[in-house]
Amino acid sequence: MPTVAPLDLDGYCLFASFIGEVPVYALADGTVHRLDHGHHAVEMHDGLTCAVRTLDGKALITGGEDGLVRALNAGGTAAEIGSVGRKWVSALAAGPQGAVGFSAGKNAHVRLNDGTVKDFAEERSIEGLAFAPKGLRLATARYNGGTLHWVTAAGQPIDLEWKGAHTAVMFSPDGKYVVTTMQENALHGWRLADMKHMRMSGYPAKVKSWSWSAKGKWLATSGAPAAIVWPFQGKDGPMGKAPLELGTRGDSLVSSVVCHPTEDIVAIGYADGMVLAVRFTDAKEILLRRGGKGPITSMTWDDKGYRIAFGSEAGDCGVIDIRG
Amino acid sequence: MSDTPSSDTQTSIPVTVLTGYLGSGKTTLLNRILSEDHGKRYAVIVNEFGEIGIDNDLIVESDEEIYEMNNGCVCCTVRGDLVRVVEGLMRRPGRFDAIVVETTGLADPAPVAQTFFMDDDVRAKTRLDAVVALVDAKHVAMRLKDSREAEDQIAFADVILLNKTDLVSEEELHGLEHAIRTINPHARIHRTERAGIALPEILDRGAFDLQRALESDPHFLDHDDPDHVCGPECDHDHAHGHDHHHGDGDHHRHHDHGPGIHGTTIQSVSLRTGEVDPQKFMPWIQKITQLDGPNILRLKGIIAFPNEPQRYVVQGVHMIVEGDHERAWKDGEKRESRIVFIGRELDREKLERTFQACAV
């Protein structure tokens, strides 16, 4: 039987993850809580707007209402790594080779491992950032599409056009697709080889959480009473195919999803705080958490795929261990 | 049309939208809101910190970002940056009691207002309280001649502060008030100097809350008097006489066509009939707003349905229309249906004819 080790915090949890083996919880009030041989709290900002984990899993990057970008390492030491001035930091992304992307308003910046910063500007506000899995390439999400920028290599930026407001962006793990969430209840995708469009719509609510399955075969998403899981294993991606609907419930929307690091399994968090794990092949469900005080906002598996750190809007966070 | 009451007014955070041309006194008013001892805490969303000389954690700078929705309707726009900032603010709700959004001088108020109706997440946690327009008494006549935005801001407002009244004559003020009334007959007008207004007159008004709008103004839509200007006594009863209701209409109409006000393009159409058939009225209001939505800036109405014990109230912004049952009709109260449209190129004859066709 899976077990839940609760951690009751006071405030909205924006991001729950692991730094190394240590569960961490980033709250909107600006504190980051660590479970490292006891409960420790670090004041990162007065007001935290976004958080992301570095690709090597060894640090947490946070952006604040104070316009600062900071990094927290596994030992609990924080350092400033960037600043956007008086605006709120609106988006963050972690890239290969230790690169960190951050943005505010119409400007994005990439801080490279050696501390140099590259600047990029768009004509409209940047809502989301993502790095390609290989090569230093940054994608922005903005009104009417997104743009792909080479960070260090020479090369013209490439515009990805699609009418409407795009609020977040992600590359597929093989780098072949770029997908965005939209202000409307839909996703949009581009196959980079030929810029073919993919429309993924039909959600009753905005998609706010998404996760690629192992090897990028599936893309799991929130925004419906089930996890909507789009097939990306064929050469045409999800075009012309129906998604899987996993963990369907009649009384609560899915608010957070995270795929297992190696198996075709997705952990699904709901608006009432419930968490299920569901296998893609037979849709078999395992209850991981009965429910809680608020919608699940964020979940991350540890590298081995045994534990899930989860956070909620109400602050009732914790760690689920599926080994029992 | 949605028939659901908007978000729970007990727990949702009220939002006041502040519009007005450059130099109309918005910064002065904001500074007063932030510094006066009124016992409430405000989060303020501005385009630029500019001259706000007050150190406050809750002043958020945000780039105005207008998003057209992908539903084929050109007037369905939201402020994308507000969606993000309001969501961020609402993750720490204990810090403030209300939100004030300051728009740029040239801003169209519609996308700001529509954000609070069209975005589900924003709507779930906040409610639009009122649109407050600051008008510079010295320059508004000129603005109205050359700027569509200045006119839009007046047309859209629930409360209008006719500011800098010390810079113009009493006669000019009457002319301006009449001009404002011609554009927007139902907004409250307050004369101010240096944006000096008792803050309860502009904050937490509940102008978009169908219940409260009518409670605080029981004779809402009653007086179609274009010369009506609110004074302090208006809070009590609108039916009573107004000291400042001077002279006859012709005198003021003279000002209306004076050189300063010529060329305004916004008009209001007030319609009145007895009880209407809901089977006819609902499709009618739907169709009117779908067809003429881009030209309709605001609409408000109180509707009497046969055999319905409660008054039905509607309001709209462009193509967004909301309706809800309000309080019961009182004994002896005249069961009348009234609706007012404020907009451009409104076909008064068509509106009148089609509205009358809904009558029982």
Tell me what ipTM this predicted complex has: 0.93
On average, the pLDDT of chain B sits at 82
| Residue A307: Cβ-neighbour burial (10 angstroms; 0-12, 13-18, 19+) | buried
C-alpha to C-alpha distance for A178 and B162, rounded to whole angstroms: 51
Let me know whether B247 and B349 are in one domain: no
What single-letter amino acid sits at A248? T
Segment among A14-18, A168-172, B137-141, B229-233 with least mean pLDDT? B229-233
Let me know whether B231 and B308 are in one domain: no
Let me know whether B21 and B84 are in one domain: yes
Asked if B268 and B342 touch (Cβ cutoff 8 Å), the reply is: yes
Q: Examine the pLDDT at A45 and tell me if it is beyond 60.
A: yes
C-alpha to C-alpha distance for B281 and A48, rounded to whole angstroms: 48
What is the domain count for chain B?
2
Residue of A nearest to B84 (CA): A90
* Domain span including residue B190: 13-256
Residues sharing a CB contact under 8 Å with residue B349, sequence separation 6 or more, in sequence order: none
Nearest to A46 among B57, B85, B91 (CB): B57
**What is the CA A36 to chain-centroid distance, rounded?**
23
The whole-angstrom distance between A69's CA and the closest CA on chain B is 16
Q: What is the bridge-based pairing of β-strands B42-46 and B98-102? A: parallel
Segment among A293-297, B116-120, B240-244, B309-313 with least mean pLDDT? B240-244
Segment among A110-119, A268-277, B210-219 with least mean pLDDT? B210-219
Asked if B271 and B340 touch (Cβ cutoff 8 Å), the reply is: yes
Of the residues B44, B46, B55, B70, the best mutation for testing chain A's interface (the one with the most A CB atoms within 10 Å of its CB) is B70
Chain B contact set for A28 (CB, 8 A)? 88, 91-92
- Is residue B1, in this structure, part of any structural domain at all? no
A231 or B255: which leads in pLDDT: A231
What single-letter amino acid sits at A286? I
C-alpha to C-alpha distance for B264 and B148, rounded to whole angstroms: 8
Asked if B186 and B300 touch (Cβ cutoff 8 Å), the reply is: yes
Segment among A69-73, A218-222, B327-331 with least mean pLDDT? B327-331
Q: Examine the pLDDT at B217 and tell me if it is beyond 80.
A: no
Q: Return the residue matching tokens 């083996």.
A: A21
- What is the pLDDT, as a whole number, of residue A234? 86
Q: What is the pLDDT of residues B156-180, one digit of tens each?
A: 999 999 999 999 999 999 999 999 9
C-alpha to C-alpha distance for B180 and B174, rounded to whole angstroms: 10
CATH number of the domain that B329 lies in?
3.30.1220.10
Chain B contact set for A206 (CB, 8 A)? 120-121
Chain B contact set for A49 (CB, 8 A)? 88
Of the residues B67, B79, B118, the best mutation for testing chain A's interface (the one with the most A CB atoms within 10 Å of its CB) is B67
- What is the pLDDT, as a whole number, of residue B225? 46
Residue of B nearest to A163 (CA): B70
Sheet of A285-289, strands arranged across: A254-259, A265-270, A275-279, A285-289
Mean pLDDT value across residues A126-148: 97
Among B61-75, B245-259, B280-294, name the most confident range. Answer: B280-294
| Interface A-B: count of C-beta contacts within 8 A | 58
Nearest to B61 among A14, A87, A106 (CB): A87
Are B67 and A183 inside 8 Å of each other by CB? Answer: yes
Q: Indicate the residue among B197, B227, B256 that finishes a domain.
A: B256
Q: Examine the pLDDT at B50 and tell me if it is beyond 70.
A: no
The whole-angstrom distance between B116's CA and the closest CA on chain A is 14
| Residue B21: Cβ-neighbour burial (10 angstroms; 0-12, 13-18, 19+) | buried
Q: Return the residue matching tokens 């502060």.
A: B161
B22: pLDDT confidence band, cut at 50, 70 and 90? confident
**Cα-Cα-Cα-Cα dihedral sign, residues B209, A224, B1, B345:** positive
Query: In B, what residues contact A, Cβ < 8 A?
Result: 49, 57, 60-63, 65, 67-71, 78, 80-81, 83-85, 88, 91-92, 119-121
Nearest to B91 among A28, A205, A206 (CB): A28
Are A183 and B119 inside 8 Å of each other by CB? Answer: yes
DSSP annotation of A185 reads S
Residue of A nearest to B119 (CA): A183
Of the residues A15, A31, A88, A144, the best mutation for testing chain B's interface (the one with the most B CB atoms within 10 Å of its CB) is A88
Give the whole-number percent of chain A exceeding pLDDT 70: 100
- What is the pLDDT, as a whole number, of residue A30? 97
The whole-angstrom distance between A28's CA and the closest CA on chain B is 6
Let me know whether B240 and B286 are in one domain: no
Residue of B nearest to A123 (CA): B65
- Is residue B2, in this structure, part of any structural domain at all? no
CATH number of the domain that B237 lies in?
3.40.50.300
Are A205 and B81 inside 8 Å of each other by CB? Answer: no
Sheet of A48-53, strands arranged across: A48-53, A59-64, A68-73, A78-83
Let me know whether B161 and B281 are in one domain: no
Mean pLDDT value across residues A120-143: 96
Q: What is the pLDDT of residues A54-107, one digit of tens each?
A: 999 999 999 999 999 999 999 999 999 999 998 999 999 999 999 999 999 999
C-alpha to C-alpha distance for A56 and A54, rounded to whole angstroms: 5
B119: pLDDT confidence band, cut at 50, 70 and 90? very high
Let me know whether B80 and B188 are in one domain: yes
Asked if B117 and B128 touch (Cβ cutoff 8 Å), the reply is: yes
Let me know whether B247 and B270 are in one domain: no
Chain B contact set for A29 (CB, 8 A)? 92
C-alpha to C-alpha distance for B255 and A213, rounded to whole angstroms: 71
B261: pLDDT confidence band, cut at 50, 70 and 90? low
B142: pLDDT confidence band, cut at 50, 70 and 90? confident
Of the residues A90, A92, A207, the best mutation for testing chain B's interface (the one with the most B CB atoms within 10 Å of its CB) is A90
Let me know whether B241 and B277 are in one domain: no
The whole-angstrom distance between A21's CA and the closest CA on chain B is 28
- Is residue B245, in this structure, part of any structural domain at all? yes
Segment among A165-174, B95-104, B323-332 with least mean pLDDT? B323-332
The secondary structure of chain B in percent helix, strand, coil, rounded to multiples of 5, reads 35, 25, 40
What is the token pair recorded at B346? 């409104």
B259: pLDDT confidence band, cut at 50, 70 and 90? very low
B112: pLDDT confidence band, cut at 50, 70 and 90? very high
* Partners of A43 in the β-ladder: A31
- What is the pLDDT, as a whole number, of residue B265? 86
B209: pLDDT confidence band, cut at 50, 70 and 90? low
What domains can you pick out in chain A, each with its CATH number?
Answer: 1-38+204-324 (2.130.10.10)
Are B121 and A124 inside 8 Å of each other by CB? Answer: no
Q: Examine the pLDDT at B222 and tell me if it is beyond 80.
A: no
Q: How many residues are given for chain A?
A: 324
| Phi/psi at B232 (5° precision) | -55, -30
- Is residue B110, in this structure, part of any structural domain at all? yes
Q: Indicate the residue among B256, B288, B319 that finishes a domain.
A: B256
Q: What is the pLDDT of residues B124-135, one digit of tens each?
A: 999 999 999 999
C-alpha to C-alpha distance for A252 and A224, rounded to whole angstroms: 9
Measured from the Cβ of residue A21, the count of other Cβ atoms closer than 10 Å reads: 13
- Is residue B183, in this structure, part of any structural domain at all? yes
- What is the pLDDT, as a whole number, of residue B53? 61
- Is residue B299, in this structure, part of any structural domain at all? yes
Of the residues B91, B115, B125, the best mutation for testing chain A's interface (the one with the most A CB atoms within 10 Å of its CB) is B91
- What is the pLDDT, as a whole number, of residue B253? 34
Let me know whether B115 and B236 are in one domain: yes
Q: Indicate the residue among B232, B256, B280 that finishes a domain.
A: B256
